[in-house]
Structure 1
């Protein structure tokens, strides 16, 4: 287990260097995954838990992404965009899986990383469940002279994947500090109880999210990942938003492509009103995609010590805002373009619209906008946007 900030920086650089060397081997995997997701077709379009999509990812070579399968940053975002384009619920579940593996890789011990690698080989689904009610989840016992076992008390809301996630990573409260706990949800010592009726969402119903009560579940010291406070350690905590933005952008691209096909089937592909409407949408989506790519480059530059953490985090906030604004504009344009008839089954638009609107509701968007405005007015200078910030060999 890494114990110092300097050691974590060295580890991050080593991971980055190792990732770059694997880039040439990924194209066949991407091509196979893309073809497989396309072949699933309607199997990922129904409002059901995307088990078939997860099975495809298990067999893709990307199931360990974020952990033992180290991907270059651009490849990771490409992967997230590709999965999000196929299915936003699938993308949400897979992004949480990758997030958990990345946290274990960054903060876990060698034994914990090896255990996660074995779980990956066995096909287990990981996730990160952070959202909770006012009381939260407490980790009780385990401190001398107390000999009682470590137990959990409390519940998590928005537990994406529910009982399908057998390796959830839980940030919990332990004596006033936030500690990551890897719960073996399928073990006899784990007691999970779903709160009935806790998942009746506008969209993203296929994720199977639910409120889960963990009270009475026992864990061991070997299940504690990292040190207290590691979960919120920057820049990793905030920079993870780049992955879910990539999933959202993939879903938006799918929506735009479906609208385009629908308009052509109606003979309206050359309608000037529609052209004007979607010119702006495409421009906003491409702008968000470029902001995302810049965020990934800045993350690498920050890990290498060439860019400040503050600059990277400002860029992450900018990516979140650009993605949300572009997606909301596309949703409005799409609803207007397809009309009431297009929002009826079996057309896919009502589901795509609901899923994207729901997935866009990420935590604290107004706080992100305020942070970015604070940085722009007080820290940004025109020199912040120059190509000299990055080593050309990294791009």
Structure 2
């Protein structure tokens, strides 16, 4: 298994253009057929879960074994230049979410960072990232902040230059909240304020130039405790010009910014499927697997999750079509909002049904329900759900066309599909 260097003791052209090879090192790409990798990873998660249940590991423990399993899975470079198709990437996120929602949150952030570097980074930055992925580094994206958000202070120069001779003199000032993984993430990608715009900075958090400090008591959550999503103060950390990824404003470019929600929805759906499976197994152990009230209750839950999964798959197809210029950005973003809404509604219905089904006895340790329910409830609190619902409603009222439920058969060339 790849050593873990991170664990401390305790549509625009960039998205579709062909990029030059990352380096002369062995490629990060998974084999053309990823099915054996999926099977091996699934079995690994099952064995890991059995071991954690047997050992009674605390629920707030950082998921080092799960991350190590992913490091050795062939999927650690997912989100960057890998051989995973879009549907396979969502399948991977769903699989990780079933194993552990905190693990899924951390891995989704890792994948998000690699995708952003792949889209906006220079050839040299992508090559460096590829090497650090091979070394097993954990990446992440930390965007959320309060009034004391992070600013980039210092000289201004062309941030797209591979060979800038300007020493920069750049420093960070301020803090990020909900920094998932905390200082275990040694390659966080920080959207920071630079003269009124958001600039991506790839921080080498384990280097002497970084003086990130955890704010005590900043992470006492309802659920997802194992992510260690603390508040970190980066004031005084020095960065180089080559640590600036892309141009100011790239982070919020559409459709990439909003379409990334498809990945965290896949993780959430995986966690919900796990909760449904656990509830069903628990009821069977109690001899209530054929109870008609439970059957009625979970029929609706399964239908909601199935609908959300189908919307998610359609969202991935629309994203691919949008990047190919075959579907409008507005249509894709409406679909992304629909996926978010359907996922949240289906998960909330399942949470209510599961609590009612297992009762007080099921919510006691060592049964997994209290942890699964808290984690899913916390993870569902993604930013601005009401804004997503409102955007979708306005689109339906003003822009939706009759018959535009999904792609017409001829609107996406299946002969060139990534699914081939």
CA-based RMSD: 1.9
Aligned partners of 1:249, 1:9: CA distance in 2, in Å?
Answer: 26
Question: Structure 2 vs 1, CA of residues 333 and 97 (structure 1 numbering), >3 Å: closer, same or farther?
Answer: same
C-alpha contact 2:30 2:82 (8 A) present in aligned 1: no
Which residue number corresponds to residue 18 of structure 1?
none
Match of 1:174 among 194, 198, 201: 194
Question: Structure 2 vs 1, CA of residues 14 and 112 (structure 1 numbering), >3 Å: closer, same or farther?
Answer: closer
Question: Structure 2 vs 1, CA of residues 105 and 229 (structure 1 numbering), >3 Å: closer, same or farther?
Answer: same
Per-residue deviation, 1:43: 5.0
Which residue number corresponds to residue 56 of structure 1?
69
Per-residue deviation, 1:70: 3.7
Which residue number corresponds to residue 14 of structure 2?
8
- Equivalent residue runs for 1:39-50 within 5 Å: 39-42=47-50, 46-47=58-59, 48-50=61-63
Aligned partners of 2:51, 2:394: CA distance in 1, in Å?
Answer: 45
- Equivalent residue runs for 1:321-340 within 5 Å: 321-340=341-360
- Equivalent residue runs for 1:162-311 within 5 Å: 162-311=182-331
C-alpha contact 2:174 2:235 (8 A) present in aligned 1: yes
TM-score normalised by length of structure 2:
0.88
SS of residue matched to 1:168: strand
Q: Deviations over 1:102-136 (max 9, x none)?
A: 00000000000000001101110000000000131
Choose between structure 1 and 2: higher helix proportion: 1
Which residue number corresponds to residue 412 of structure 2?
390
Aligned partners of 2:288, 2:170: CA distance in 1, in Å?
Answer: 63
Question: Structure 2 vs 1, CA of residues 30 and 359 (structure 1 numbering), >3 Å: closer, same or farther?
Answer: same
Per-residue deviation, 1:238: 0.3
Q: Deviations over 1:65-103 (max 9, x none)?
A: 111324100000000000000000000000000000000
SS of residue matched to 2:147: strand
Per-residue deviation, 1:388: 3.4
- Equivalent residue runs for 1:344-359 within 5 Å: 344-359=364-379
Question: Structure 2 vs 1, CA of residues 236 and 23 (structure 1 numbering), >3 Å: closer, same or farther?
Answer: farther
C-alpha contact 2:168 2:241 (8 A) present in aligned 1: no
SS of residue matched to 1:178: strand
Question: Structure 2 vs 1, CA of residues 10 and 261 (structure 1 numbering), >3 Å: closer, same or farther?
Answer: closer
Which residue number corresponds to residue 3 of structure 2?
none
1:30 aligns to 2:25 (yes or no): no
Q: Deviations over 1:340-375 (max 9, x none)?
A: 000000000000000000000000000000000011
Q: Deviations over 1:173-204 (max 9, x none)?
A: 01111100000000001001101000000000
Question: Structure 2 vs 1, CA of residues 42 and 202 (structure 1 numbering), >3 Å: closer, same or farther?
Answer: farther
1:84 aligns to 2:92 (yes or no): no
1:103 aligns to 2:116 (yes or no): yes
Per-residue deviation, 1:392: 2.8
SS of residue matched to 1:310: helix
Aligned partners of 1:218, 1:102: CA distance in 2, in Å?
Answer: 24
Q: Deviations over 1:282-323 (max 9, x none)?
A: 000000000000000000110111100000000000000000
Q: Structure 2: where are the runs of 5+ without partners?
A: 1-10, 22-28, 158-165
Question: Structure 2 vs 1, CA of residues 6 and 90 (structure 1 numbering), >3 Å: closer, same or farther?
Answer: closer
C-alpha contact 1:22 1:72 (8 A) present in aligned 2: no
Question: Structure 2 vs 1, CA of residues 43 and 141 (structure 1 numbering), >3 Å: closer, same or farther?
Answer: farther
Per-residue deviation, 1:142: 1.8
Aligned partners of 1:352, 1:36: CA distance in 2, in Å?
Answer: 20
Q: Structure 1: where are the runs of 5+ without partners?
A: 16-20
Which residue number corresponds to residue 364 of structure 1?
384
Moved more, 61-70 or 28-37: 61-70
C-alpha contact 1:317 1:369 (8 A) present in aligned 2: yes
Per-residue deviation, 1:391: 2.2
Q: Deviations over 1:185-239 (max 9, x none)?
A: 0000100110100000000000011000000000000000000000000000000
TM-score normalised by length of structure 1:
0.94
